[in-house]
Amino acid sequence: MAKAESELGWKDLEIGSIVAEPGSAAQYKTGDWKTQRPVLDESKCNKCGLCYIFCPEGCIKQKADGYYEIDLSYCKGCGICAMECPKDAITMVAEEE
Measured from the CB atom, the residue of 14 and 88 that comes closer to other proteins is 14
Least distance to other proteins from the beta carbon of 32, Å? 8
Backbone angles phi, psi at 39, to 5 degrees: -120, 125
Least distance to other proteins from the beta carbon of 63, Å? 30
Torsion, CA 64, CA 45, CA 86, CA 96, rounded to 10: -100
CA distance 51 to 86: 9
Least distance to other proteins from the beta carbon of 74, Å? 14
Are 71 and 34 in contact by the 8 Å Cβ rule? The answer is: no
What one-letter code names the amino acid at 65? Answer: D
Measured from the CB atom, the residue of 23 and 58 that comes closer to other proteins is 23
Measured from the CB atom, the residue of 17 and 43 that comes closer to other proteins is 17
Measured from the CB atom, the residue of 32 and 42 that comes closer to other proteins is 32
CA angle, residues 97, 78, 4, in degrees to nearest 5: 65
Per CB under 8 A, residues contacting other proteins are: 5-6, 8-20, 22, 32
